[in-house]
Structure 1
């Protein structure tokens, strides 16, 4: 109840500063603004990147920046299933982009909520979804080239589900949008994986999403219930398309290429992939693959597009946060920025996600609350996406009535001296990976040898060498912990 009473106190203090004619209907429970950003690895200025991301950097400096946050699965739909349910994968379908559709969309409402958003709704929150929060680009179930359906991906989570597809007409068309109104599907993949459009922010769908969210905030200001608003932005997911003004923020000559462009030593190539998602964009300047790195010039161009996309999204989020403050909703709103997983930008010769390496699993996490003890903090402990479920419920004084895998991050947000440095599990490619403070241990359930990989993180190691055969004592120490993450997913040996 501690946070509930503190919100009451905060509310009374704020109310005392208002003109007596100011409406006082606002609930004391905190609002939640949850912002999901697709494919956003820790590529922000706040993390030491050259990315120009002033709005997200400012939010990170005001709140809590998690420097070692890991998604459960390095693919969009499965990562979001774990986030929303609080469960690490325990079935093979939980590794698929269809995880939410197969596991949640057709089920009857149960005493166990389908997601933490559903739990907020059960607790009296008005829940609004805009953009990509679950796997679908707009929250409805339909194929990339099909008409929009009326079947919700999450049937019980949202009070309202909104999206503005603009000239692209459907959510999936908008997800793969080009500035001329076409998309990857309509052009039969005969497209480049990047574009610097001569358009304003609304010339791509994420600008429309920001405007829609701003309009909705103005409505929510006058609601009696607290709100949970989820806003999902598409970029920097492929294609790396952004208004040209964001490309112009960077000098390509100064953009670094990967410091780890080679295949790690002592691994099997089965641990990597041939950048198939990236190579779908058939008019790319070069094809990516494991036999050779793309040229430095092309690597810089692609990284330029990724950075421009981040700066574009940073501006959209900045607009939304500015409106939150203008409406004085920031005084009672928890803001979360979550990247659904990481991305290889030529690292280990891969362009894309879909590996069990650091680049594919590590992503952005920022939480800002109205409380002083949650300000100006960097948390270096290892945390997982499943931890957000209990964290947001605890901050909002909503009881968690069933067992999940995540654990609340609040102790980390208020203390600088916790001994527990945490651990994170990742799942993909017939493998499980365990990340601790000092090591990453991965076990593959496959025929290709070696099936055990160990990477040393006691220094700034970019995972360029598997040292499992050289450090068997570390493998033996960590393997029982890794095996605890194999609950029903793979047959034990």
Structure 2
């Protein structure tokens, strides 16, 4: 074989070798964060310290107007995992996954998008709070002995390090000394500044477990899905002292909507039962007796500290992803399961369908899209994440949902046509967010049943102007009814 033939042979060998190679599907790292509202640097909060999440945002796409379907943990997670709008009252409950998915024989239809990825060859690992339960199917004060697994067909591995708290629920409501809200009969404060390191609270253990697991997953040939569920900033607002020290209470602004909105019925709100069950709280704010400014600042500082603590744990995982050489082929999604009203409308909690309760962060970094849109200002929903993930992984949706793939919004070079409406459901009501308005209808006897908020003139939803704009109400009512999936009589 002469020299030229040898060169040609080597060239053809290399060419066919490259053609024959199949690119490994992208991995997925999904970070589920409990009760995280969009109080982050990348969303414009100049006080809060969230450098790691902000860095992720700078590398991917920040969805500025992302809305969950249900403002409570279990039901919101049921909706995102199935990609479906709620169509029955049971789908609005924290028990939705327990009652409607888990404990069933495996069906042709996958139980979640994680199950679908597993069927398509992904090795799936979950830790922390992904659905509503951590160790299995049991309540706050029930024994975990013999508990059935939540989402039994979604996981190759479901792991958790409960540390000194012993089990998942104790860890979820845990304090730095190893006690928890249940064992102390709610004789606890709704916050704690622990003189401990990051591992002194459960999310630090979860971050360490995720780092360890990434080292194992890096050695596998098959693509992986790693779901990591952080507890904080869910109540109690507990975190190590060093994160509290990032904030001065006097610098923290309180809400721009301190009062009950004009022209509504208080049936649209609640009396802060989730916060006030922490019996040693200095105040018990209600709709009639709101928190003092000093106590509101203290609670906000506690919440911000918990966010910064979670941000640090996110940073550890993202750093390990890069260290293991996985970042270039891993889709990263950070999602807050709903918002939280920090004194807005005298509310401390979720469980309403006002803006602050149903808007949450969504950040997606997709390395297979080299030219991502940095800030997406279109209105999107949690149910859009399932079809988006399938498209990013080059997989077909296994069934039709109301969700739509957001890849066209992620990709700078794609058409941005997008129907802008997002539906949320709770308290016998449906709310739809469109670019200028939030329109809400309650299926109840208490009047008024209709609420309209003009976000151009009233971004904090302080004044229901439905009676002043009957034509807008009529138009938006038609859009809202499109989201009435059978929950309420039309």
Q: 1:376 to 1:418 in 2, by over 3 A?
A: closer
What is residue 35 of structure 1 aligned with on the other side? 31
Q: Deviations over 1:94-144 (max 9, x none)?
A: 000000011001211111100000000000000000000001134x11121
Contact kept? 2:372, 2:411, Cα under 8 Å: no
Which residues in structure 2 correspond to 1:77-156 (within 5 Å)? 77-138=74-135, 140-148=136-144, 149-156=146-153
Cα distance, 1:357 vs structure 2? 0.1
Q: State TM-score, norm by structure 2.
A: 0.94
Q: Which residue of 195, 202, 218 maps to 1:198? A: 195
Q: Which residue of 450, 453, 466 maps to 1:452? A: 450
- Secondary structure of 1:265's aligned partner: coil
Contact kept? 1:31, 1:332, Cα under 8 Å: yes
Cα distance, 1:373 vs structure 2? 4.1
Contact kept? 2:336, 2:360, Cα under 8 Å: yes
Q: 1:180 to 1:62 in 2, by over 3 A?
A: same
Q: 1:376 to 1:411 in 2, by over 3 A?
A: closer
Which residues in structure 2 correspond to 1:115-264 (within 5 Å)? 115-138=112-135, 140-148=136-144, 149-264=146-261
Q: Which residue of 342, 359, 376 maps to 1:379? A: 376
What is residue 436 of structure 2 aligned with on the other side? 438
- Secondary structure of 1:393's aligned partner: helix
What is residue 340 of structure 1 aligned with on the other side? 337
Q: Which segment is superposed worse, 146-155 or 201-210?
A: 146-155
Q: Which segment is superposed worse, 296-305 or 481-490?
A: 481-490
Q: How many residues align?
A: 470
What is residue 428 of structure 1 aligned with on the other side? 426
- Secondary structure of 1:35's aligned partner: strand
Structure 2 Cα separation of the partners of residues 487 and 371 of structure 1: 35
What is residue 389 of structure 1 aligned with on the other side? 386
Q: Which segment is superposed worse, 407-416 or 68-77?
A: 407-416
- Secondary structure of 2:378's aligned partner: coil
Cα distance, 1:401 vs structure 2? 2.5
What is residue 72 of structure 2 aligned with on the other side? 75
Q: Which residue of 469, 472, 476 maps to 1:471? A: 469
Structure 2 Cα separation of the partners of residues 240 and 40 of structure 1: 12
What is residue 266 of structure 1 aligned with on the other side? 263
Contact kept? 2:237, 2:306, Cα under 8 Å: yes
Q: Which segment is superposed worse, 248-257 or 149-158?
A: 149-158
Matched, 1:485 2:449: no
Cα distance, 1:90 vs structure 2? 0.1
- Secondary structure of 2:101's aligned partner: helix
Structure 2 Cα separation of the partners of residues 254 and 96 of structure 1: 37
Cα distance, 1:458 vs structure 2? 2.0
Contact kept? 1:81, 1:100, Cα under 8 Å: yes
What is residue 328 of structure 2 aligned with on the other side? 331
Matched, 1:282 2:279: yes
Q: 1:256 to 1:466 in 2, by over 3 A?
A: same
Cα distance, 1:27 vs structure 2? 6.1
Contact kept? 1:130, 1:230, Cα under 8 Å: yes
Structure 2 Cα separation of the partners of residues 45 and 376 of structure 1: 18
Structure 1 Cα separation of the partners of residues 412 and 420 of structure 2: 14
Cα distance, 1:84 vs structure 2? 0.3
Structure 1 Cα separation of the partners of residues 254 and 87 of structure 2: 37
Cα distance, 1:418 vs structure 2? 2.5
Structure 2 Cα separation of the partners of residues 402 and 116 of structure 1: 11
Q: Which residue of 398, 404, 407 maps to 2:404? A: 407
- Secondary structure of 1:381's aligned partner: strand
What is residue 61 of structure 1 aligned with on the other side? 58
Cα distance, 1:146 vs structure 2? 2.3
Contact kept? 1:64, 1:374, Cα under 8 Å: no
Q: Deviations over 1:145-196 (max 9, x none)?
A: 2222441110100010000000000100000000000000000000000000
Structure 2 Cα separation of the partners of residues 172 and 353 of structure 1: 20
Contact kept? 2:116, 2:398, Cα under 8 Å: no
Q: Deviations over 1:336-366 (max 9, x none)?
A: 0000000000000000000010000000100
Unaligned runs of 5+ in 2: 1-13
Contact kept? 2:85, 2:485, Cα under 8 Å: no
Structure 2 Cα separation of the partners of residues 151 and 26 of structure 1: 39
- Secondary structure of 1:67's aligned partner: strand
Contact kept? 1:69, 1:383, Cα under 8 Å: yes
Which one has a bigger Cα radius of gyration? 2
Contact kept? 1:60, 1:376, Cα under 8 Å: no
What is residue 21 of structure 1 aligned with on the other side? none
Unaligned runs of 5+ in 1: 1-11, 17-24
- Secondary structure of 1:334's aligned partner: strand
Contact kept? 1:124, 1:225, Cα under 8 Å: yes
Q: Which residue of 301, 309, 313 maps to 2:298? A: 301
Q: Deviations over 1:364-411 (max 9, x none)?
A: 100001145453610010000000000001100111131111110011
CA RMSD of aligned residues (A): 1.6
Contact kept? 1:27, 1:224, Cα under 8 Å: no
Cα distance, 1:251 vs structure 2? 1.2
